[in-house]
Structure 1
Amino acid sequence: MNQLTGVISDRGSKYAVSGGPVADRAEIEGFLKALKRDKKFAKATHNTWAALMSDGTPLKGDDGESGAGMVILRMLERANIRDHVIVVTRWYGGKHLGGDRFRHVQDCVRAYLDRFGD
């Protein structure tokens, strides 16, 4: 499991990004379960994720952060990264971020791809 913590901090909200190879939905569920074994991630407000499978099947989960999974998925499609899940974690800081939250999701995915991409 690859992980970057403390990627972004804005108005009290903190972000991290994690990812790793997956072959199917069951492996994605296993990845999320392993991530949440860390109490810090289990207590996060949102663990949004996406994966583009090798056959082109898009999978995503917003975990209450409506639209965030699609942001991650679009970035995976543009980078043509398949069979890899990326999870953006947010700990809500008490202030609404509006549209900035989507920019933060993009920035987290970009940081992940810069660090761990091919």
Structure 2
Amino acid sequence: MEIKTHREINPKYSGVPLAVETDKFASVILELTEEMKADEKGLVHGGFIFSAADYCSMLAVNHPNVVLAKAEVKFLKPAVVGEHIVFEGIVIEKNENKRTVEVQGKNEQNEIIFTGKFYCVITPKHVLD
């Protein structure tokens, strides 16, 4: 499993890669911690869920210059501190330098809590160069 993109991302907030198949598939696991909670009941802020799903989509493409251009997402069930969410991303469309990745996030009961389409672009050089 060679990771070619987002190599300095913090796994504490964006998840730990489980599998990477360049330009095909990736999976990431995110442990939901106290730092992520939005309220006293332990509801996890959706931004952390989105971050892990986005990271999963980047890994599915796995190119050093891949960036996110657009995302269409649905939060289907709440996520709670203490859970582990597994995200799986599949590249469903390739068009020159563009990729579309479908991502699902599932809780430990195998319930889908998140779905999304991530529209990625591979730039000729790093976006900050």
- The verdict on a shared fold, with TM-score over 0.5 as the criterion, is no
TM-score, with length taken from structure 2: 0.30
Higher RCO (CA-CA < 8 Å; seq separation 6+):
1
TM-score, with length taken from structure 1: 0.32
Return the index of the structure with the highest Cα Rg.
2
